[in-house]
Amino acid sequence: MATTQVQTVNTGADKAKLGAAAALVLAALTGFYLLGQQGQLVQWAVFLVCLAAAIVVFFLSESGRQLAAFGHDAWREVKKVVWPARKEAMQITAYVFGFVLIMALFLWLTDKTLEWLFYDLILGWKK
């Protein structure tokens, strides 16, 4: 049984990139609230520019590259999925709804039977 261990080395530059990305997100939020009197256009422009810069800086870091690679691999796996035809999906959905209806009816009948058994027969609490 062979297992491979992935070891990530965080360099100082990589940590600095992540710190800069976090600082840019903080700057985006701070700028948005502090520039409230400048108008909504300025507010949103500063917010979006700082947020976009934070995203770019994050994806330049090793963590960002790993996230992008994970997303790419996940998308490749989604493309491999064989999705059911419309008819099959509708049939399976109908089976699920039917099962849920039958289970709901069964649980309701069980509840009412136990209620009748305990409250009416055993305890004698007539409603």
What radius of gyration do the chain's Cα atoms show? 29
- CA 55, chain centre distance (Å): 19
Mean pLDDT of the chain: 91
Strand, helix or coil at 123? coil
Token code pair at residue 117:
């058994």
Q: Are 17 and 61 in contact (CB under 8 A)?
A: yes
Token code pair at residue 47:
């917010």
Which pTM value belongs to this model? 0.58
User: How does pLDDT run across 57-109, given as a tens digit for each residue?
Assistant: 999 999 999 999 999 999 999 999 998 999 999 999 999 999 999 999 999 99
Token code pair at residue 1:
């049984």
